[in-house]
Chain A
Amino acid sequence: MIHSPLETSTLFRVGPVGVTEPVVVTWAIMGALVVFAAVVTRKLQPIPLRAQTLLEITVSAVDDQIRGTMQVEPGPYRAFIGTLFVFILVANWSSLIPGVEPPTAHIETDAAFAALVFCATIVFGVRSRGLLGYLATFTEPTFLMIPLNIVEQFTRIFSLILRLFGNIMSGVFIGAIVLSLAGLLVPIPFMALDVLTGAIQAYIFSVLAMVFIGAAVAGETQETSANQVGK
């Protein structure tokens, strides 16, 4: 039986709040990530073992991406960008587990992360430039661009939502259709393609989040660059 990916099934209710399947899967992914991270980082070794090496490679890659894309030191943004990438990647790849539907295949999850990117853009922008400085960015390059810049703030977020949702949902949908039509082993190539798509979409979502935040904190970027040149 094929469920519509546009529908979310409520597993149970807590009072008026219906707890849907994406939420439960998200909790499971969260638990797995946190437990794994806590276990590995509980006793970090000077010479890292395999799991620690994996985490260090991940953190180093996130830091390099932040430096390369935003031109700032990664410290304040590492947790946010890194969590976006890691969670979306693991959520996308959770479709490999039989019977598990990735949370990112539901628009609520993508919208939640996109909303956080929207808020993070504002928070980091205001913190970096100040409120007036951040609002002044809407007047660039001219006052005439203010309406378009405001609309852009929402359209790019919707774009972010729909890109991730469309790609992951379509992968799940196609896999379900092929499975129902062709049999057990035929969907495997499509699942491999989903693995690649999931990784690419996680990377794109994170990079776009960095671009949006980087544009909001461009003043900090220039200041940081000036400090680096000064050093």
Chain B
Amino acid sequence: MHIDWWTLGLQTVNALVLIWLLGRFLFQPVADAIAGRQKEAAQMLADAKAAKAAAEGERTKAEAEAARLADHRAEAFKAVEAEAAAAKSALLAKAQAEADKLVASAKVQIENDRRAEAHAADARSAELAVDIAAKLLNRLPPDARISGFMDGIAAGVRKLPEETRAALGAEGNPIRLTAASTVSPAEEGAFRESLSKVLGHAVAVDISVDPTLIAGIELAAPEAAVRNSFRADLARLQSELVHHDTDNA
């Protein structure tokens, strides 16, 4: 076997040159690129870890904030509930008071209505009684409607004050009498005589007829009025009946 030493030398030089060239153009740039990428990946990983840690922190903060909001909401809900309960109680109390007031007012109204009804019923009853009495008394004979009533007029005039009695029929002014039926001249004279005796001076009388008196006589003068008739009695009786029932109610 023959070894070409020139070839051996040239191949050695070639190998050295190739080692330098590939180290310069292949291995070093590629290794640098790989190292750079690994460094960049490591940096990205570190950034990702940092971002993850930051995100974890943010999540913890968010959870704490959520818990705080939940507590705040619960407290606000309790406050609203308490406020609603208070408002409910106040509304219920107010409604109860208004209801009580309405009930009391209704009771008063009902009582007033009942009283008014009772009063009206009493009035109607009294009116009915007076009507009944008037109809019954209308059956009296005409002479019975006057006789006997003059004494009452005389007693009434006697009870008047002295000054009033002195003024009645003075200076020739006739005393106006109203009778329930026509008065005979005898009865007119009896009336004049009776009044003159009671008043102490002679008087003249002017007699008019009013059937609505039912029975009796009434004296009407500017100074005084004396009534002694069934109409006046029935009116007084009706008034007393009505007032008596109203007072009793």
- Residues of chain A having any CB pair with chain B under 8 Å: 6-8, 17-20, 22-23, 26-27, 30, 33-34, 37-38, 41, 44, 46, 52, 55-56, 58-60, 62-63, 75, 78-80, 82-83, 86-87, 103, 106-109, 111-113, 115-116
Is A23 touching B7 in the complex (CB atoms < 8 A)?
A: yes
Q: Which chain B residues in 1-34 approach chain A with CB under 8 Å? A: 1-4, 6-12, 14-23, 25-31, 33-34
Is A41 touching B30 in the complex (CB atoms < 8 A)?
A: yes
Question: Does B114 sit within 8 A of A, measured CB to CB?
Answer: no
Interface size class of chain B, counting residues whose CB lies under 8 Å from the partner chain:
20 to 34
- Which residues from chain B contact A8 at a C-beta distance below 8 Å? 4, 7
Is B8 touching A80 in the complex (CB atoms < 8 A)?
A: no
- Which residues from chain A contact B29 at a C-beta distance below 8 Å? 41, 44
- A29, closest chain B residue (CB): B18
Question: Does B78 sit within 8 A of A, measured CB to CB?
Answer: no
- For the complex with contacts A20-B4, A103-B11, 5 further pairs of A-B residues with Cβ separation under 8 Å are A37-B21, A79-B27, A87-B18, A108-B8, A108-B11
- Which residues from chain B contact A108 at a C-beta distance below 8 Å? 3-4, 7-8, 11
Is B14 touching A23 in the complex (CB atoms < 8 A)?
A: yes
Please give the distance in Å from A121's CB to the nearest CB on chain B: 15
- A47, closest chain B residue (CB): B37
- Which residues from chain B contact A34 at a C-beta distance below 8 Å? 18, 21-22, 25-26
- Which residues from chain B contact A37 at a C-beta distance below 8 Å? 21-22, 25-26
- B13, closest chain A residue (CB): A112
Please give the distance in Å from A51's CB to the nearest CB on chain B: 11
Is A60 touching B34 in the complex (CB atoms < 8 A)?
A: yes
**In the complex the two chains form, what is the Cα distance from A209 to B27 in whole Å?**
18
Is A18 touching B6 in the complex (CB atoms < 8 A)?
A: yes
Partner of B15, one of A56, A59, A116: A116
Is B8 touching A7 in the complex (CB atoms < 8 A)?
A: no
Query: Assuming the A-B contacts A79-B22, A111-B8, A112-B14, are A56 and B33 also in contact, with contact meaning beta carbons closer than 8 angstroms in the complex?
Result: yes
**In the complex the two chains form, what is the Cα distance from A60 to B32 in whole Å?**
11
Is B28 touching A27 in the complex (CB atoms < 8 A)?
A: no
**In the complex the two chains form, what is the Cα distance from A110 to B50 in whole Å?**
54
Q: Identify whether the interface residues of A are mostly helix, strand, loop, or mixed.
A: helix
Is B2 touching A6 in the complex (CB atoms < 8 A)?
A: yes
5 residue pairs bridging A and B, Cβ less than 8 Å apart: A26-B14, A52-B30, A78-B28, A111-B3, A115-B12
Is B10 touching A17 in the complex (CB atoms < 8 A)?
A: yes
- Which residues from chain A contact B3 at a C-beta distance below 8 Å? 107-108, 111
Is B22 touching A26 in the complex (CB atoms < 8 A)?
A: no
**In the complex the two chains form, what is the Cα distance from A80 to B21 in whole Å?**
11
Please give the distance in Å from A222's CB to the nearest CB on chain B: 24
> Most chain-B Cβ atoms within 10 A of its Cβ — which of A27, A46, A79, A107?
A79
**In the complex the two chains form, what is the Cα distance from A62 to B31 in whole Å?**
11
**In the complex the two chains form, what is the Cα distance from A169 to B11 in whole Å?**
17
- Which residues from chain B contact A18 at a C-beta distance below 8 Å? 4, 6-7
Partner of A56, one of B1, B6, B17, B30: B30
Mask: chain B, 36-50; 1 = CB below 8 Å from A; 0 = not: 010000000000000
Partner of A33, one of B7, B10, B22, B33: B22
Is B15 touching A87 in the complex (CB atoms < 8 A)?
A: yes
- A87, closest chain B residue (CB): B18
Is B7 touching A20 in the complex (CB atoms < 8 A)?
A: yes
**In the complex the two chains form, what is the Cα distance from A79 to B31 in whole Å?**
10
Is B14 touching A82 in the complex (CB atoms < 8 A)?
A: no
- Which residues from chain A contact B14 at a C-beta distance below 8 Å? 23, 26-27, 30, 112
- Which residues from chain B contact A55 at a C-beta distance below 8 Å? 26, 30
- B6, closest chain A residue (CB): A17
- A34, closest chain B residue (CB): B21
- Which residues from chain B contact A109 at a C-beta distance below 8 Å? 7, 11
- Which residues from chain B contact A52 at a C-beta distance below 8 Å? 30, 33
> Most chain-A Cβ atoms within 10 A of its Cβ — which of B2, B31, B37?
B31
**In the complex the two chains form, what is the Cα distance from A115 to B34 in whole Å?**
31
Partner of B27, one of A59, A106, A107: A59
Mask: chain B, 73-110; 1 = CB below 8 Å from A; 0 = not: 00000000000000000000000000000000000000
- Which residues from chain B contact A82 at a C-beta distance below 8 Å? 22-23, 26-27
- Closest 9 CB pairs between A and B? A79-B23, A37-B26, A112-B11, A41-B29, A112-B12, A108-B7, A108-B8, A83-B19, A37-B25
